[in-house]
């Protein structure tokens, strides 16, 4: 059963919003020294990429 593509697009919206929130709280030097922040952004980028891949494969 195919999921509604809006579900994936909501994942994209939420992940991109979190990334924007994370990076708005620091500058480049702060980002480069905060591994937890880097890992959080990497996780959100993974979610974003997976959701976009599923949308492009299924619709």
Question: What is residue 2's predicted lDDT score, i.e. its pLDDT?
Answer: 75
pLDDT, tens digit, 9 for 90 and up, residues 15-38: 999 999 999 999 999 999 999 999
Please give the Cα distance from 46 to 51 (Å, whole number): 9
Range of the domain at 54: 5-58
pLDDT, tens digit, 9 for 90 and up, residues 3-12: 788 999 999 9
Query: How many domains, in total, are found in the chain?
Result: 1
pLDDT, tens digit, 9 for 90 and up, residues 39-57: 999 999 999 999 999 998 8
According to DSSP, residue 43 is labeled H
**Would you place residue 1 in the very low, low, confident or very high pLDDT band (cuts 50, 70, 90)?**
low
The two structure tokens encoding residue 15: 């992940």
């Amino acid at each position: 059963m195919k999921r509604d593509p809006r579900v994936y697009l909501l994942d994209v919206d939420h992940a991109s919003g979190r990334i924007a929130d994370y990076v708005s709280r620091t500058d480049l030097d702060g980002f480069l020294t905060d591994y937890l922040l880097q890992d959080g952004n990497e996780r959100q980028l993974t979610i974003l990429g997976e959701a976009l891949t599923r949308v492009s494969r299924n619709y």
